[in-house]
């Protein structure tokens, strides 16, 4: 059984040795689109995180039995075509919940407590020369008693809500499908949520309901000093709107995901004046060591379930 891993670099230092017990394994650290077809043409099993597996690639891979998506979202695979060809497609759900919840708070605290400013102030000697034991030039506020709005109340959204509640935040949420109801927290319209909340975090998938869900109008409606974080998918927040609003009002925005990844060098997000109001991380919320280990375990289990 030939197993091909197409973008193993995304697994970092995670041990991939167990794949060797399942068959003949070929590991590619990265795969550019024009190389995908040649690399998988004789494969029985493909393991991909973000490499696109199209109908055309499946047509030219007659031995292909299983596509393992090393992620939860499967938008990089033509699932309908796979069904037509009799190819199983398996993802891994729930492996990164704790990691994303944790990273949500890491991003929040970085922005909320002006960590970059204060770290720089100490390291560049400004604090040492001040003659004062403290610096309150960049005030921050407590989460306790503040309103926290969650867009997308799935497993990750609920995890964030529980931790936020432990800090004393008042939780509300917006259902992007309009179908979900969870009595434990207040359900709000999007308009209410963005206007009323001090902290807004996004944990939703990208689909027809969420594409550019947060644009200039919604960001302009946010309170002065509000913090908005996207840990869902790039494209849910309009990035051009972010680049515009960030220099027009005091709002703090954190993005772990982008519409195009990696972020284009000419992205307007990289050319704003008030860079201190933005915090970016390169799609790493899911990448704790434990989450990556769970992910590989899940992929291995999926292979064993179908092929062993």
Give DSSP secondary structure letters for 220-284.
HHSPTT-EEEE-S-TTSB-HHHHHHHTTTS--EEEES--SSSSPPTT-GGGG-S-GGGEEE--S-
Q: What's residue 102's pLDDT?
A: 98
C-beta atoms surrounding 180 within 10 Å: 14
Q: Where are the domains of the chain?
A: 2-95+289-307, 97-280
How would you class 12 by CB atoms within 10 Å of its CB: exposed for 0-12, middle for 13-18, buried for 19 or more? exposed
Q: What's residue 127's pLDDT?
A: 98
Query: In the CATH hierarchy, which fold is given to the domain comprising 97-280?
Result: Rossmann fold (3.40.50)
Going across the sheet that includes 66-69, the strands are 24-27, 2-5, 45-48, 66-69, 88-90
Domains 2-95+289-307 and 97-280 share a fold: yes
Q: What's residue 291's pLDDT?
A: 98
Q: What's residue 307's pLDDT?
A: 81
Q: What's residue 180's pLDDT?
A: 74
- Catalytic (active-site) positions: 233, 261, 283
Question: Can you tell me which residue has the tokens 């309170």?
Answer: 223
Q: What's residue 178's pLDDT?
A: 81
Give DSSP secondary structure letters for 26-91.
EE-S---HHHHHHHHTT-SEEEESS--B-HHHHHT-TT--EEEESSS--TTB-HHHHHHHT-EEE-
pLDDT tens for each residue of the chain, 308 residues long: 999 999 999 999 999 999 999 999 999 999 999 999 999 999 999 999 999 999 999 999 999 999 999 999 898 999 999 999 999 999 999 999 999 999 999 999 999 999 999 999 999 999 999 999 999 999 999 999 999 999 999 999 999 999 999 999 999 999 998 877 788 999 999 999 999 999 999 999 999 999 999 999 999 999 999 999 999 999 999 999 999 999 999 999 999 999 999 999 999 999 999 999 999 999 999 999 999 999 999 999 999 998 87
For the 2-95+289-307 domain, the top CATH level (class) is alpha beta
């Amino acid at each position: 059984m030939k197993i091909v891993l197409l973008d193993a670099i995304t697994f970092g230092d995670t041990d991939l040795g167990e794949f060797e017990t399942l068959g003949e394994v070929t590991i590619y650290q990265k795969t550019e689109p024009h190389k995908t077809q040649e690399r998988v043409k004789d494969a029985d099993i493909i393991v991909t995180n973000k490499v696109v597996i199209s109908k055309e690639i499946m047509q030219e891979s007659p031995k292909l039995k299983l596509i393992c998506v090393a992620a939860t979202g499967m938008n990089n695979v033509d699932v309908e075509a796979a069904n037509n060809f009799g190819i199983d497609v398996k993802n891994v759900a729930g492996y990164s919940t704790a990691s994303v919840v944790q990273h949500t708070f890491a991003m929040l605290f970085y922005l909320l407590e002006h960590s970059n400013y204060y770290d720089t102030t100490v390291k560049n000697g400004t604090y040492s020369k001040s003659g004062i034991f403290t610096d309150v030039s960049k005030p921050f506020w407590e989460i306790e008693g503040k309103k926290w709005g969650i867009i997308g109340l799935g497993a990750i959204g609920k995890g964030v809500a529980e931790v936020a509640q432990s800090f004393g935040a008042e939780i509300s949420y917006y259902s992007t499908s309009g179908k979900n109801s969870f009595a434990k927290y207040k359900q709000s319209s999007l308009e209410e949520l963005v206007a009323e909340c001090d902290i807004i975090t996004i944990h939703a998938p990208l689909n027809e309901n969420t594409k550019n869900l947060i644009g200039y109008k919604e960001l302009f409606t946010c309170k002065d000093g509000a913090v908005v974080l996207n840990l869902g998918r790039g494209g849910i927040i309009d990035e051009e709107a972010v680049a515009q609003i960030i220099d027009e009002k005091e709002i703090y925005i954190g993005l772990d995901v982008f519409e195009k990844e990696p972020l284009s060098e000419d992205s307007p997000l990289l050319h704003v004046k008030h860079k201190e109001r933005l915090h970016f991380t390169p799609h790493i919320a899911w990448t704790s060591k434990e989450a990556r280990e769970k992910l590989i375990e899940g992929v291995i289990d999926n292979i064993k379930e179908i092929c062993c």
